[in-house]
Amino acid sequence: MTTVLPAAPLVFPAGFRWGAATAAYQIEGAVAVGGRAPSIWDTFSHTPGKVHAGDSGDVATDHYHRYREDVALMSELGLQAYRFSLSWPRIQPTGRGPALEAGLDFYRRLVDELLTAGIEPVATLYHWDLPQELEDLGGWPARETAERFGAYAQLAADALGDRVKLWTTLNEPWCSAFLGYGSGVHAPGRTDPAGALRAAHHLNLAHGRAVSALRAALPADARISVTLNLHQVRARSTDPADLDAARRIDAVGNRVFTGPLLGGGYPEDLRADTAHLVDWQALVRPGDEAAIAAPIDLLGINYYTPTLVSAPPEGAHHSPRDAARDDAHGASDHSPWPGSEHVLFHRPPGEVTAMNWAIDPSGLYDLITEVARANPGLPLMITENGAAFEDTLTPDGEVLDPERIAYLHAHLTAVHRAIAEGADVRGYFLWSLLDNFEWSYGYAKRFGAVYVDYPTQRRIPKASAHWYATAARSNAIPPAHQPG
């Protein structure tokens, strides 16, 4: 017989890391400081019609100048780790040649500030800001970009390897490849299904090159990871056609990366689904899959919402555009799913965030559980999870965001359950530390635990930030409704 006990506090394993994440172009600003050259996101955001309200990262949250204040904020929030990205064009403006010391110095100062505060730096080499000059030479659809990335990784490791112990090569290569070169809602805004697949392979290869460069340059205690936005794909019914739609989206959404990155190579069904677009034999050269499979120490997972799909009704004609897809990827007439353009996307049931993304923590639980089962011995880290809501300042100058607290509570509970059942999850990074430049949505969507009043750049921790601080300090999930 079991006794019913009052709900035990959900305590995490000792050493579990509580962090927050950001990305260079979304927060730094200072785009023309210290010799930095434009990235594809500078070009894209300054192209009329590409970003909501004509917003750009020119100033963003001015983190380049306010990083000390922002690290102090992290301390106040009890964060134990901070995930940020290095701006490639700040370090290597053209994507080639020697490193700019001014750029490296910014990251040295930032990392030193973090270490002084006792916050572990987690550096991502690439969060979407490709040097424009490399795009002009072909961008990610060109193989040469992968080789350039390996050289850039080497420069970064040489300069920061003495103080950064945890490295991530790429953030969400799916977005870089399929939103950047497929649907075109992200920079560089190209709409070329074959180019998107080529980009995916060259991002994988870039990862492999970077892992080798990092391994050679970093001390033995450094750890190397990659972060994927794995799609928790669900079929709308058990109809074989719907299940096949889910298989296709899993292939071009997940397995195109996890296959080669985790040593299994490109899946046969993916190659078959896309054979009319790319010649895989020519694209993937001998040795590529082995290079991409260079062992990693940790896999980063970003999760926001599940993906619900079905096959189109028999005989129907469909454009790749539909409501649910517009919600998830920004408006585009082009598909980010090369070879599976006919699959229909549906908004899963339930409440939504300001992004119109369904709130479903079971997706995070299922995702962790599946990845953990498929990859025994590979530690996982939730490198992004969070939500945008319509945050406003009260007359007292506070931001009350109970919806975000509920979102975090539910998703952390899902992580806790997966760990309790055996998944090896080492940490959780809230997206995002600050409200910031939300890509094609500009400043209209606020993901921060800390509110940013853009005209004054004042930082105001939201109620969720205080709630998260309690979680971080106690290594446990506080109740969603705190008394008081």
Q: Kindly list the distances between the CA atom of residue 322 and the CA atoms of 90, 253, 313, 327, in Å, as whole numbers in the listed order.
A: 38, 18, 14, 9
Q: Is residue 171 at the binding interface for ligand PNW, with CB under 6 A as the rule?
A: yes
Q: Is residue 429 at the binding interface for ligand PNW, with CB under 6 A as the rule?
A: no
Residue 21 Cβ vs ligand PNW, minimum distance, rounded to whole Å? 8
Residue 452 Cβ vs ligand PNW, minimum distance, rounded to whole Å? 14
Q: Is residue 438 at the binding interface for ligand PNW, with CB under 6 A as the rule?
A: yes
Q: Is residue 230 at the binding interface for ligand PNW, with CB under 6 A as the rule?
A: no
Q: Taking each helix axis as running N to C, give the angle between helix 361-374 and helix 402-420, from 0 to 180 degrees, rounded to the nearest 10.
A: 30
Residue 479 Cβ vs ligand PNW, minimum distance, rounded to whole Å? 26
Residue 286 Cβ vs ligand PNW, minimum distance, rounded to whole Å? 33
Residue 394 Cβ vs ligand PNW, minimum distance, rounded to whole Å? 25
Comparing C-alpha atoms, which of 238, 190, 232, 194 is closest to residue 368?
232
Q: Is 341 a catalytic residue?
A: no
* C-beta closer to ligand PNW: residue 92 or 302: 302
Give the containing element (helix H, strand E) for 428. Answer: strand 425-431
Catalytic annotation, pick one of 113, 135, 289, 384? 384
Q: Is residue 302 at the binding interface for ligand PNW, with CB under 6 A as the rule?
A: yes
- C-alpha R_g of the chain: 21
Give the distance, in angstroms, between the CA of residue 421 and the centroid of all CA atoms in the same chain. 25
Residue 175 Cβ vs ligand PNW, minimum distance, rounded to whole Å? 5
Comparing C-alpha atoms, which of 415, 411, 407, 414 is closest to residue 462?
407
Rounded to 10 degrees, the C-alpha dihedral 256/287/176/350 comes to 20
Comparing C-alpha atoms, which of 175, 149, 343 is closest to residue 256?
175
Stretch that binds ligand PNW, among 70-78, 104-112, 168-176, 292-300 (CB under 6 A): 168-176
Q: Is residue 23 at the binding interface for ligand PNW, with CB under 6 A as the rule?
A: yes
Q: Please give, one letter per residue, the 3-state secondary structure of 155-223.
A: HHHHHHCCCCCEEEEEECHHHHHHHCCCCCCCCCCCCCHHHHHHHHHHHHHHHHHHHHHHHHHCCCCCE
Q: Which of 55, 129, 384, 401 binds ligand PNW (CB under 6 A)?
A: 384
Catalytic annotation, pick one of 28, 113, 133, 172? 172
**In sequence order, which ranges of 392-441 are alpha helices (DSSP H)?**
402-420
* C-beta closer to ligand PNW: residue 189 or 478: 189
Residue 198 Cβ vs ligand PNW, minimum distance, rounded to whole Å? 20
* C-beta closer to ligand PNW: residue 329 or 462: 329
Residue 357 Cβ vs ligand PNW, minimum distance, rounded to whole Å? 9
Spatial separation of the C-alpha atoms in residues 103 and 100, rounded to whole Å: 5
Q: Is 384 a catalytic residue?
A: yes
- 73 Cβ neighbours under 8 A, 6+ residues apart: 433, 450, 459, 461
Q: Is residue 328 at the binding interface for ligand PNW, with CB under 6 A as the rule?
A: yes
- 433 Cβ neighbours under 8 A, 6+ residues apart: 20, 21, 22, 27, 70, 73, 74, 79, 82, 448, 449, 450
Q: Is residue 175 at the binding interface for ligand PNW, with CB under 6 A as the rule?
A: yes
Tokens of 352: 């939504």
* C-beta closer to ligand PNW: residue 207 or 271: 207
* C-beta closer to ligand PNW: residue 127 or 426: 127
Stretch that binds ligand PNW, among 43-51, 167-175, 262-270, 455-463 (CB under 6 A): 167-175
Q: Which of 431, 443, 451, 467 binds ligand PNW (CB under 6 A)?
A: 431
Q: Which of 63, 198, 247, 329 binds ligand PNW (CB under 6 A)?
A: 329
Stretch that binds ligand PNW, among 130-138, 170-178, 450-458, 462-470 (CB under 6 A): 170-178
Q: Is residue 229 at the binding interface for ligand PNW, with CB under 6 A as the rule?
A: yes
* C-beta closer to ligand PNW: residue 188 or 478: 188
Residue nearest to ligand PNW (CB): 329
Within 10 A of 174 (CB to CB), how many other CB atoms are there? 24
Strand, helix or coil for residue 430: strand
**In sequence order, which ranges of 58-161 are alpha helices (DSSP H)?**
63-76, 88-91, 101-116, 132-136, 144-160
Q: Is residue 172 at the binding interface for ligand PNW, with CB under 6 A as the rule?
A: yes
173 and 259 Cβ atoms separated by less than 8 Å: no
Give the distance, in angstroms, between the CA of residue 452 and the centroid of all CA atoms in the same chain. 21
Spatial separation of the C-alpha atoms in residues 11 and 8, rounded to whole Å: 8
Per rule CB under 6 A, count of chain residues that contact ligand PNW: 13
Residue 295 Cβ vs ligand PNW, minimum distance, rounded to whole Å? 24
Q: List contacts with ligand PNW (CB under 6 A).
A: 23, 26, 171-172, 175, 229, 302, 328-329, 384, 431, 438, 447
Q: Which amino acids are annotated catalytic?
A: 172, 384
